[in-house]
Amino acid sequence: MIPLPASHTVPVATSFSSKRRPIKSSTGPINELPPTRWIITEAERLALEAFTEALRRRRPPHKSPTQSREGNDFEAPGSPDNVSQSPRGSPRNIFLNRKPEAHQVFRAIEDQDLSILANVAEYDFGLLLRPLSSGTNQTPLNHAIDCGPSHRGVALLLLGMFSRYVNHLSDTDFDQPAARETLRLLRVNFALAMNRGVMHATDDSLAASFLQVYIMSKGQQWLSDTITQTAIALRGSVPGEPVALAGNAVRKYAGRMLKKDEIIATLEDYVGNATADLLMMAAWECVRNGAPNEDVPPIPLHYFARDERVFNAFTEKLEQHRELVHHSKFVGRRLRAQLAVLQKYLEGRTTTYRSKVIAVDQELNGLCGT
């Protein structure tokens, strides 16, 4: 390489100084990455939510009983919209002309083929709940657990599908015997997951789904009795009694069903949601008890602790029976104020249910004795 003469040396600092921009330094501490275990757990949760949300979006509107298959709330795949490709390149709609068989479900679990399991759910959701071998308890969930830690994601996927199914049952589903049998099978599967250690302390959403299913299938009498007791407390004059009674009833019931303190400790949002629902259902029961006739229907019990179903039904009924609530002599001033407090402080998703219940408790205490 031939060196340049001294007169032709490029003044580096001068040539590039005009293009440089000052770099702003920060003296703050460097944020550490979260633990690897947390990252893996969060990835599993997000993957499960994304997959089950895709299943929910593909679920068609509710069909008439004559169109439904036994124990199935999903439409059998057949339309072009339901056909997609699995990761292996085979058509996802493999059960178009034939029923899925037990060995296919077992193989899909062993191969962790989520597309096959999704297709089975569309064709016959009950097949994912029932024992696949006669005379045994070998359900798909049981088989996924038997496959070991490497298949925990498949077990969580199945539980996520079960939870989605419960959350999207319609009112007409509860009039069908097949839906009640499906709830029974769901309860058995959630209990299996808890007994075999699939639900850890971080799986609060799955534990909440188990409580949901249990109350919907076997806890109707407990729920009805608790609503009555909470309504009596709302008519009383003891500060804090309605909220404390409702919250303690939920915690006691959850403790009896779950029998695992580490899981119960993570269910505060579920307890808050259930407590708020009990208060609204009890307040509406007070309206019904004071109504001069029986034309005021209750809030359906199967709405309990299912997202915002009770709140939506509560606000709709307040509007539908506006004359009775706001202008009749059958609803007293104190009950009217309680209804207004519940509607105001339990609306929206910007705060947790626990915070909402605390605010409601403070407001209801101010109404004691009025």
CA distance 104 to 108: 6
How confident is the prediction along the chain (370 residues), in pLDDT tens digits per residue?
555 554 444 444 444 444 555 555 445 444 455 555 555 555 555 555 555 555 444 444 444 333 333 333 323 233 333 333 333 444 445 555 578 888 889 999 999 988 888 888 888 888 999 988 777 778 999 999 999 888 888 988 898 888 888 878 888 888 788 888 888 899 888 888 878 877 664 566 777 888 888 888 888 899 999 999 999 999 998 888 999 999 999 999 988 887 766 667 678 888 999 999 999 999 999 999 988 876 889 999 999 988 789 999 999 999 999 999 998 889 999 999 999 999 999 998 778 888 999 999 999 998 876 6
Name the residue type at position 331.
Answer: V
Angle between helices 268-290 and 333-345 (to 10 degrees): 150
Residues in CB range of 305: below 8 A, 6 or more apart: 208, 211, 212, 215, 270, 273, 274, 277
Contact at 8 Å (CB) between 229 and 249?
yes
Distance CA 273, CA 60 (A): 28
Which pair of tokens denotes residue 233? 């407390």
Among 325, 238, 331, 223, residue whose Cα is nearest residue 282: 223
The Cα–Cα gap between 357 and 176 comes to 35
Domain boundaries, the chain: 39-170, 219-370
Would you give the distance in Å from CA 127 to the centre of its chain? 22
What pLDDT is attached to residue 221? Answer: 93
Q: For residue 268, with 0-12 CB atoms within 10 Å meaning exposed, 13-18 middle and 19 or more buried, which class applies? A: middle
For residue 72, what pLDDT is reported? 34
Q: Is the distance from CB of 130 to CB of 72 less than 8 angstroms?
A: no
- Give the whole-angstrom CA distance, residue 221 versus residue 280: 18
- What is residue 41's three-state secondary structure? helix
Q: What CA–CA distances, in Å, run from 360 to 48, 62, 224, 334?
A: 34, 36, 22, 14
Per-residue confidence (pLDDT) for residue 1, from 0 to 100: 52
For helices 241-258 and 353-367, give the axis angle rounded to 10 degrees: 140
